[in-house]
Structure 1
């Protein structure tokens, strides 16, 4: 017979549980109450009462999908609060937000919020994105912002903020900081310059010398501050005041030194002039021979071009050895070098003289691998007949240079003439997604985790570029697996963003978007409806990339009529969905990812809908793919433990 439980022990357990259960419930209630308080101060008089809005005590922020709230996949903790362009007129209650210990994203941009940005914002320790631009905030940017060590991007532009900018040197992962169009004073604070990709403090009242490390960002990042000086601005900094005592004691010595230096400089100039004349005379004797050799080389190059096959998504069977066949009359001043230390002193002549290997030929241009004398290897894209004016192309390139993302390959320099354009990038040696997928069909490893990582990173990068360039209407325009490259760490990187106008895509069969793009001839249009359609073409193209990742089948220019989108849809309609997936994925050791593969397939099918209005936006695609990747990472962590 079993013993009866001790009544005292039973009573003790009842008391313990009676305390524990309310505490667990109260913690959830505390978060909900804090969020409702936050909303009441955000819009004190006109908080919406629509049931779809949420933000009330009778619903749950995660389960009931409060407006602008995104939770982690377990639907237990709030991850993002995005309330943009909502017309809020209240204040920011950061103290209430501090109860959300896992909040990563707070975006309240383009409202009418006023008052101070509270110091309590520094208590939101998990914040990685803070967007407060386009409001009427005043006062200082609190020092507590510098305590948010997880911050990646900060945007407080377009407010009435004043005082000194806080020291951001403790935020080692900061990628973007925007504070333009405010009333900030003082000097530019310290940043971790090695990671910073985007900086704009223009149109303030800042003063002093611009640190050399950030002078590469260009004049647009600092303009509108009359008291700032030094490169890249035209107004130079005044020299430091001389030490008067030293000046008196060394006056005669300085005068003597100056006279001697003058004679030395004059002598050096005479020697240089003589050397120049000798070299010129020597070159003049060689010029007829060089001209004959150059003409012969160009003729051989033309003959090779006639015999060479067309390039298929980055695969080519021939090489050229220089860029000297480009149109004559170019001068070095026509090469625009952008803000990059890699090619800071690059000249046009350097490109012409350097050995150049043809690594890709497409319908709209060719790609060359160019090695400079310094050992730097560049990728030079040569495009003909782009269908955009020189002025518009120049504006487009400078606009793209202002928008940077770690997973978007930055443009280093460019040249533009009437018929021909050159784009200069860093050369990435690890190939493209196209080649990676083709290699996987030959038995090379390209597992599910790596493919999901490509999908999530490229989706995030594309969503960011769409958001930043929405007003300009500049989409990628030529997204495909051969334009997704891998850097030295095998992280995916989006290349050639914004180079092609949309009309070049209309003739590509796999985009299937002729109807929506009929009147969309220029990707740089500022017409909102045209820009909308342009970005939807990118969504379709990204959906095709997702299908390539899932099926292992790649889209080629000469696919002999094979339509990947149509094939996938037909298999899904026949309810043989599993047959869609790459056999390499299905036979992967320890494969338990079929559910996530199905989820990603559904995302892809929403992207490639024939009706552009039914396609997801890239921001929606990014949220879904990143959520799948986080779920995958948690699964790996759980299994390993």
Structure 2
């Protein structure tokens, strides 16, 4: 009888099945696609006219489309944000209503019209609905009152009519309700939900304000002339109803019959009544006049809702918010950022106002902010000051600057112009500026900026500036280390270029500090040659580690080029260089070569400075024996670049 080993395959098979199941699950998660939601979105965008910058490629995943956000498993659309993309016409039924797991829907600041589709009632998980600044009409959408998980509802700046229904109390989680600047009429319902933000200003509401809403400020109800009660004026200021305890008891009939009034008493009572009536009429007219004066002083632009009060409030003043949310016919046009390149970003001015902001720096032309939008996008917003250019001139200059594209130039993405605010939007550069790297804390924890990175910065900045001069024919006008920004790989990008024409023909004396060429101090006009001078100072800054007007340079008021020249004349060249560089080996020759290039750039005579394309050539030829030859060529023709191109003569002498 043979002996065998009995092998139980049951547990092994179970393990194999479990592993296969896990692999299939992981594969499904990786390759998952919200197919039904994608079909609904494609149906919506195909049936709704829109701006060209909203280009959804049906071969890509819907989760990667602009304005679309999916859940972590990419199995359904979680958020749809399409503000200010020029959507026009009615919202097509059987499209967005099919996104039954949607949490956030924002279609604000478009040209949508008509009524809200009834199938919006399918969006039962929706938490935030933003439809403001459109042309939607009809009565208050009954479908919205069925979205019981809704926390924020904004239907402001539309054409809704009819009454505000009591069924809004079905939205038990509602914390923000914004219905201002519509044509709602009738009485306000008593809303018992725990509202934190509320606004029904500038409608046609009447009657008394319910006690449940009296806690909100007067601005929440302004512009409804027939509305009364706290916090507005009392509904019956002249004849208040008497309290029950103050009612005068009726006099028994037999008492009235027992006495008769004399003729004198009747005349006296009559005269008294007439006088009392005239006095009352006078007081009534006086109060009416006073109320009219108060209303006249309170008919400013409609007050913005609390949703528009942003953590990024420093990025725009309250006056600009009035521009954005005002009720005039021009409000929609004023409220839009002008994008210079379509398809890069999908946000508008209101997004910037609501974004969290951090001050990056305050310069001579304005203040820069890092703005993090709700959708996670990070941009830099520059708020200009002292702009003298009119709107047409401003827009023309922005169009010129918006066309400049180069890997070493920070692109201008959008701008906003109003009477009180001028904003520019740039890409955010995470590595900061050269000024911060050079002059930040030099404590023990600091990572020194080595020679390789400094020469990389010099090359990148030179290429960017040469592109501005030759290809774009634009004078930068404000070269300094804080305007040279760095990407993660330390590739330098030139920023804040071509803005001087916005501030008039005369350059203010406080601009570009220690980077000003001698002729700019006298003429206050910037040129290509003065840009080269500023770039030379930037090179000296990279070599010495000193700021151009640093007090420790010795003699008070001496600038960096003069200090370097004085040290070199005394044959103490080694004393010029940053101590962090002198610790490195085999870089002395390149440092001396870059010093020679910098000194050529900061020549007192403008025509003796090399053109920026020549400077690029000299830096790239360092340590190859080409620097001296390039310097010689630049002295023969200071305007000619290494590529044979010469900027137009008028461009070399005019203000940017």
TM-score (norm 1): 0.47
Task: Return the index of the structure with the highest Cα Rg.
Answer: 2
Scaled by the length of structure 2, the TM-score of the pair is 0.46
